[in-house]
């Protein structure tokens, strides 16, 4: 009897292993075009990390994130790694939340932006929680090796809240932003002089469904037409459109793509096509927060109809989250994101190698041998 039980357990284990191997092999069909898949570091002086951002400078790539004991802990600081001589430098703290009286507050959500032909800007937030944080800015003239003293943004301004600004044809640098103190609301902060002076547009109307969203990104469709895509509490990525370079915006409305109350990022490539990186997860009806895995990439010609092209990560061990994407001068796509809150990831993709499969009715297309996780596959993760 005992022998029979052992044989059953062994057989079950082998079947499970074969299933996992088959799933992983099938997942490889969703990873065509990946040229590099790496961690930024192997060891760090902090146990937890989150919220990636990346910029290309004349000196090379610069990667930033926040790290510390855990999110919200006063010891959380902004760290930077630079790509030099074929490898990443060790994480170096470049900003903290130490106050004038010696007390400490956590830092949050860094955002890098390389001003064309000029400074590298580092936006970040300081405060006890998102509802009470304020915006800070540092500048570098040597590709992130050294940084200026911290500048506090004007009262009521926080800079880009998570995703990168974009430079418009009229010279405005438009920073997608949002607030969480009085409900979730999206707005934009605009500067024409690299952050010396500011003005605000919004908040954006929530629409008939009273949609609540934060952390937008901006797509540029040309001729003054812009689109925002954002995380929401409404089980879907939401969007808004502008036809006047971001001076006015339509009320928020749902897209057909699911959202599990997790951060996204988007980019308009040089060829005019649009890239979105997000967790393609529809959470349960009673809770808009779902597991932050898998981490997916979609491409669109018009910002409305999206095609599935990549799954960057998928594992029962969540989370893979808070992504950012840029396109470098060599036309390659670079994706950066949080890996299980333990390490920071970097994936390089050749967009010409991607195979597009239509996303219909918000459903990720099937590939033989691979099934996208269902609602009950992974438990919901904390913020």
- The answer to whether 230 and 206 have CB atoms below 8 angstroms apart is no
Using pLDDT thresholds of 50, 70 and 90, give the confidence band for residue 382: very low
pLDDT at residue 6 tops 70: no
Contact 375, 88 (CB under 8 A): no
Strand 77-84 to strand 87-88: parallel, antiparallel, or no bridges (unpaired)? antiparallel
Give the other-Cβ count within 10 Å of 353's Cβ: 11
Distance CA 337, CA 251 (A): 29
Is pLDDT larger for residue 182 or for residue 9?
182
- Of residues 223 and 19, the one with the higher pLDDT is 223
Q: Which distant-in-sequence residues (6+ apart) come within 8 Å of 208 by Cβ?
A: 251
Condensed to tens digits (0 to 9), the pLDDT of residues 332-355 reads 999 999 999 999 999 999 999 999
Residue pair 357/30 in contact (Cβ under 8 Å)? The answer is no
Q: Above 50 in pLDDT, residue 59? A: yes
Residue 214 to residue 184: CA distance in whole angstroms: 6
Neighbours of 58 (CB within 10 A): 9
pLDDT of residue 377: 44
Give residue 255's pLDDT.
98
Sign of CA dihedral 362, 307, 112, 79: positive
When pLDDT is cut at 50, 70 and 90, the band that residue 182 belongs to is confident
- The predicted structure's pLDDT at residue 188: 98
Q: Residue for token digits 């959470």?
A: 283
How far apart, in whole angstroms, are the C-alpha atoms of residue 152 and residue 142? 21
Mean pLDDT of 251-274: 98
Task: Name every residue whose Cβ is closer than 8 Å to that of residue 365 and which is 6 or more positions away in sequence.
Answer: 308, 357, 358, 359
Q: Are strands 357-358 and 343-349 parallel, antiparallel or unpaired?
A: unpaired
pLDDT on residue 33: 97
Q: Which two tokens stand for residue 298?
A: 């979609």
Percent of the chain at pLDDT > 70 equals 91
| pLDDT > 90 in the chain, percent | 86
Query: What mean pLDDT, rounded, does the chain reach?
Result: 92
Has residue 264 got a pLDDT over 80? yes
DSSP 160-218: -SSSPPEE-TTS-EEEEEEE-BTB-EEEEEEESSTTSS-EEE-PPP-TTTT--EEEEEE
pTM to 2 decimal places: 0.92
Confidence of residue 371 (pLDDT cuts 50, 70, 90): confident
Tell me what the mean pLDDT of segment 248-267 comes to: 98
């Amino acid at each position: 009897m005992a022998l029979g039980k052992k044989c059953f357990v062994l057989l079950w284990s082998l079947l499970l292993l074969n299933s996992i191997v088959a799933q992983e092999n099938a997942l490889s069909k969703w990873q065509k075009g990946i040229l590099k898949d790496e961690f930024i570091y192997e060891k760090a002086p902090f146990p937890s990390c989150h919220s990636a951002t990346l910029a290309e400078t004349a000196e090379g790539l610069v990667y930033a994130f926040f790290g510390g004991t855990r999110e919200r802990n006063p010891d959380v600081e902004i760290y930077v790694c630079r790509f030099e001589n074929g490898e990443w430098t060790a994480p170096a703290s470049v900003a903290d939340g130490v106050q004038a009286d010696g007390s400490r507050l956590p830092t949050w959500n860094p955002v890098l932006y390389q001003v064309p032909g000029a400074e590298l800007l580092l936006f970040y937030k300081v405060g006890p929680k998102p509802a009470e944080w304020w915006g800070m800015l540092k500048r570098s003239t040597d590709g992130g090796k050294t940084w200026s003293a911290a500048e506090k943004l004007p009262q009521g301004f926080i800079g880009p809240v998570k995703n990168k600004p974009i430079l418009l044809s009229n010279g405005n640098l438009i920073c997608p932003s949002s607030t969480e103190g009085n409900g979730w609301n999206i707005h934009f902060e605009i500067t024409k002089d690299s952050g010396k002076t500011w003005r605000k547009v919004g908040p954006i109307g929530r629409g008939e469904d009273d949609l609540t969203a934060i952390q937008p990104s901006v797509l540029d469709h040309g001729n003054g037409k812009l689109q925002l895509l954002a995380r929401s509490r409404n089980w879907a990525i939401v969007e808004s459109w502008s036809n006047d370079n971001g001076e006015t915006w339509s009320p928020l409305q749902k897209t057909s793509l699911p959202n599990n109350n997790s951060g996204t990022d988007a980019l308009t490539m040089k060829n005019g096509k649009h890239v979105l990186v997000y967790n393609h997860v529809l959470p349960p009806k009673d809770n808009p927060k779902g597991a932050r895995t898998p981490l997916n990439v979609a491409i669109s010609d018009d910002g409305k109809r999206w095609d599935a092209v990549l799954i960057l990560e998928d594992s029962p061990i969540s989370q893979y989250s808070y992504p950012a994407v840029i396109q470098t001068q060599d036309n390659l796509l670079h994706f950066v994101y949080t890996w299980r809150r333990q390490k920071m990831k970097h994936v390089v993709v050749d967009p010409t190698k991607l195979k597009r499969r239509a996303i219909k009715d918000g459903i990720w297309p099937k590939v033989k041998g691979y099934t996208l996780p269902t609602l009950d596959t992974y438990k919901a993760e904390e913020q």
